[in-house]
Amino acid sequence: MRLEWLDDILAVLETGSLAAAAERRFVTQPAFSRRIMAIEAHLGVELLDRSRRPARMKPAVRDQRERIQELATGLRTLQDDLRRQDRQVQNRVVISCQHAITTSIAPSLVERLSADKALSIRLRSANREECYAQLMTKQADMALLYESETEPLPPADDYLERIEVGSEPLLPVFATNRVEKLNQDYALGEIPIIAYPPEVFLGKVMNQEVLAGFAQLSFIRKRAETALTLAVKQLASAGVGVAWLPDSLVASDVEAGRLSDLSDLLPMGRLTIVAMRLRVDAGAGLGRVWDEVTAMAADFSEPYGTNPLF
């Protein structure tokens, strides 16, 4: 039973005549009469008592008026709910972010998108390989990832689209209030560091790009190891060792003097922030997010250390 048919029947029940019902339904009386006949043909039941003038609904139909009203209300509510849910699906975007990006750059992107009240963003945090897998298996609509010179991401192709949002340094930092202790360690011929596991992305960057810049690796003393950048930051803040962290994650601490930037003394790396999505039909929400990422890439300023995302 179509919703408009229920509304037609209710119009006759409520007005008492075909003419008045046709006027309420904004159609001519002949057209409205044909609609009632189509309903009768579909149901295989005569609804109107045409032996009377004017014709009116039969008693059996009048007895079901409340039930018909409930059905019409239920169908209208269902229709509205389905439309609303479809809009929500079209405007819900899942972004898979590398762990360090989830806590540094991604919040700035979500903030920039917050003016669009219809848009709903879900952030998923994982390591780089997992984020890329989520994108390729369509568990995520977009991925925000790091790449480096020695650890590049796949290039754009007929299936994959990518934007290089910008780059930022991987800075060596240490607790400012413990720098004297670091100097003492250095005088004894060692540099305590916080390391990343060698199998994770930042561990590979550390081994291939940062540690390769040391004249003597024998100076390096690994005091702790973890894949979590926030834990690395906490260990550096506690003075456990020098940590190499993305600029976006430590910029406010360096500016406030809680951490010291040692890039004038120690090697550093450089990371490129890359947004990726599949070249498939996507909802309007992802299109708006992609447009914002494109705008961010255009805004990204290259003097060293300048980042418009935070």
CATH no. for residue 37? Answer: 1.10.10.10
Res 222: pLDDT: 92
Instruction: Say yes or no: 172 and 161 in one domain.
Output: no
Instruction: Say yes or no: 177 and 162 in one domain.
Output: no
Q: State which of 70-79, 125-134, 216-225 shows the largest mean pLDDT.
A: 125-134
Mean per-residue pLDDT, 93-103: 91
For residues 35 and 280, which has the higher predicted lDDT (pLDDT)?
A: 35
What's the CA gap between 208 and 46, in Å, rounded? 83
157 belongs to a structural domain:
yes
Evaluate if residue 195 carries a pLDDT over 90. Answer: yes
Instruction: Say yes or no: 134 and 278 in one domain.
Output: yes
What b/e readout covers 123-159, taking b as 16+ CB neighbours within 10 angstroms?
Answer: bebbbbebbbebbeeeebbbbbbbbbeeeebeeeeee
- Domain end point (choices 88, 106, 125): 88
Res 132: pLDDT: 94
- Of 172, 227, 224, the C-alpha closest to 200 is 227
List all residues 6 or more positions away from 172 whose beta carbon is below 8 Å from its beta carbon.
Answer: 210, 242, 243, 244, 261, 262, 263, 265, 266, 267, 268
- Domain end point (choices 53, 71, 88): 88
Q: What is the CATH number of the domain that holds 116?
A: 3.40.190.10
Res 62: pLDDT: 87
Mean per-residue pLDDT, 212-221: 76
Q: What is the CATH number of the domain that holds 222?
A: 3.40.190.290
Mean per-residue pLDDT, 187-205: 92
Q: Percent of the chain at pLDDT above 70? A: 90
Main-chain phi, psi angles of 44, to 5 degrees:
75, 25
Say if residues 301 and 207 touch (Cβ distance below 8 Å): no
Instruction: Say yes or no: 174 and 38 in one domain.
Output: no
Instruction: Say yes or no: 140 and 283 in one domain.
Output: yes
Q: How confident is the model at residue 306 (pLDDT cuts 50, 70, 90)?
A: very low
What's the CA gap between 111 and 118, in Å, rounded? 14
Alpha helices, H only, the chain: 3-15, 18-24, 29-43, 59-63, 65-90, 99-104, 106-113, 128-136, 179-187, 201-205, 229-237, 247-256, 284-299
Domain enclosing residue 151, as ranges: 91-166+271-299
Q: How confident is the model at residue 192 (pLDDT cuts 50, 70, 90)?
A: very high
Q: How confident is the model at residue 186 (pLDDT cuts 50, 70, 90)?
A: confident
Instruction: Say yes or no: 110 and 21 in one domain.
Output: no
103 belongs to a structural domain:
yes
304 belongs to a structural domain:
no
Res 83: pLDDT: 66
The 3-state DSSP class for residue 271 equals: strand
Instruction: Say yes or no: 184 and 264 in one domain.
Output: yes
Give residue-wise pLDDT tens across range 244-295. 999 999 999 999 999 999 999 899 999 999 999 998 866 678 888 899 899 8
Res 73: pLDDT: 86
Instruction: Say yes or no: 156 and 280 in one domain.
Output: yes
Instruction: Say yes or no: 45 and 79 in one domain.
Output: yes
Instruction: Say yes or no: 260 and 279 in one domain.
Output: no
Res 155: pLDDT: 93
- Of 7, 5, 11, the C-alpha closest to 45 is 5
**Dihedral, CA of residue 162, residue 167, residue 171 and residue 176, to nearest 10:** -120
Instruction: Say yes or no: 261 and 129 in one domain.
Output: no
Instruction: Say yes or no: 40 and 76 in one domain.
Output: yes
Domain count, the chain: 3
76 belongs to a structural domain:
yes
CB atoms within 10 A of CB 25: 18
Say if residues 93 and 121 touch (Cβ distance below 8 Å): yes
Mean per-residue pLDDT, 94-108: 89
Mean per-residue pLDDT, 73-83: 76
Residue with tokens 């079901």: 64
305 belongs to a structural domain:
no
Res 16: pLDDT: 87
- Domain end point (choices 88, 114, 149): 88
Mean pLDDT rounded to a whole number for the chain: 87
